Amino acid sequence: MLKNIKFREFKVDDLPFLVNISNLIYSDYPTTIEELEHWFSNYDHTKYLMKKYVATNEQDEVVAYSYYYHEPILYHPHKFSLELEVHPEWQKQGIGSHFYNLLLKEWITLNTLVIRTDAREDHKDSLSFIINRGFKEKRRSWESRLNVQEFVLDDFAQAVSQIQQHGIEITTLAEEVRKSETAYEKLYEHHTTTMGDMPLPDTYTPVSYEEFFKRVIKSPNLLPEAFFIAKAGELYVGESYLQASKADPTQPYQGLTAVRREFRGKGIATALKIKVIEFAQKNNYKTIKTSNDSENSSMLGINQRLGFVRQPAWIEFEKEFV
């Protein structure tokens, strides 16, 4: 069968095939052409390396794809993240193995130190493929989901009012942009400062303001009215926000929830999450999906108290090269 399979570099016309394959494999996390195109087109190729490939059949239909790339917030010239997916109808025919071996040759020429990839713990075939190629588990990320309409806001009514005793107010990105020309810059400063405290698999490397603006502010998933910001005076001290799912508008994703180190322990993160849930209820969302590193015990605890239900974990693997 492999003799009829060709491997080539990715072309823009391949995007619908990639979206289709991704949605078949990860039906719980549907994506769209617009979303994937945003990710690819706003990747800064002047700073980072991203190589994209596809495998095609005799009809020139894409049956598998792969891309490996520098992760901007974990940048190291010889460390890459990997995506490799095969259409369900074309799996177990050696396509993934051959694809991987072709990439392996490139990684060697690039003096690669580490390749990172992940898989959900209930995707047994993916786990076997990864482990059989020498990848080792490094960490887990727990996905949790909240049934929005069953959440009882009155049970947490005091959470928002309590932080006002500490001189903290909660606003939205939409409101801040209307009031201040520097709102985006202040958000970037807060985002960059707090990201450095997040559990990450490697050293955090801040991106530029321009890159932040393109990837976050200009994202098709941004909901300025659902991007909540905690303020102490004019200082941004916390953030928590929803990201829209273009493929399934009823189930948005919870973006980063983060509070400045010196303002933690005051209930700000919980209050921000309550505002996010309140927005979701008012806008008739069905489910909020969130993900937290297994080492982030404080946020896992908050989500549990709010009623988020844990789902199968995502396991991150690394393959180290000598």
Asked if 151 and 278 sit in the same domain, the reply is: yes
Owning domain of residue 108: 2-112
SS3 129: helix
Residues 148 and 295 in one domain: yes
With a CB cutoff of 8 Å and minimum separation 6, the contacts of 60 are none
Domain finish residue from 69, 90, 112: 112
> Which residue ranges in the chain fall short of pLDDT 70?
1
Same domain assignment for residues 98 and 198: no
CB atoms within 10 A of CB 102: 13
The CATH number of residue 98's host domain is 3.40.630.30
What was the pLDDT predicted at 77? 98
Question: 291 and 164 in one domain?
Answer: yes
53 and 168 housed in the same domain: no
For 283, residues 6+ apart whose C-beta sits below 8 A from its C-beta are 226
DSSP 92: T
Residue 78 maps to a domain = yes
In terms of domains, do 105 and 148 share one?
no
DSSP string computed for 213-255: IIIIIT-TTEEEEEEEEEEETTEEEEEEEEE--SS-TTS-EE-
For residues 51 and 160, state if they share a domain. Answer: no
Same domain, 184 and 304: yes
Q: Using CB atoms within 10 A of its CB, is residue 66 exposed (0-12), middle (13-18) or buried (19+)?
A: buried
Residue 241 lies in a domain: yes
Does some domain include residue 134? Answer: no
CA distance 64 to 292: 29
Give the per-residue pLDDT at 3: 73
CA 223, CA 241: separation in Å to the nearest integer?
8
Choose one of 57, 91, 112: the last residue of a domain. Answer: 112
143 with 28: CB under 8 angstroms?
A: no
Let me know whether 89 and 162 are in one domain. no
Q: Do 42 and 103 belong together in one domain?
A: yes
Which pLDDT score, from 0 to 100, does residue 295 have?
A: 85
Among 19, 269, 2, 291, smallest CA distance to 10 is for 19
Calpha distance 295→287 (Å, rounded): 24
How many independent structural domains does the chain possess?
A: 2
pLDDT of residue 1: 53
Give the dihedral sign, CA 36/37/38/42.
positive
User: Would the pTM count as exceeding 0.85?
Assistant: yes
The answer to whether residue 22 is domain-embedded is yes
Same domain, 198 and 83: no
Q: Is residue 130 part of a domain?
A: no
Mark whether 71 and 24 lie in a shared domain. yes
Is 299 within a domain?
yes
CA dihedral 202, 41, 181, 225 (to 10 degrees): -80
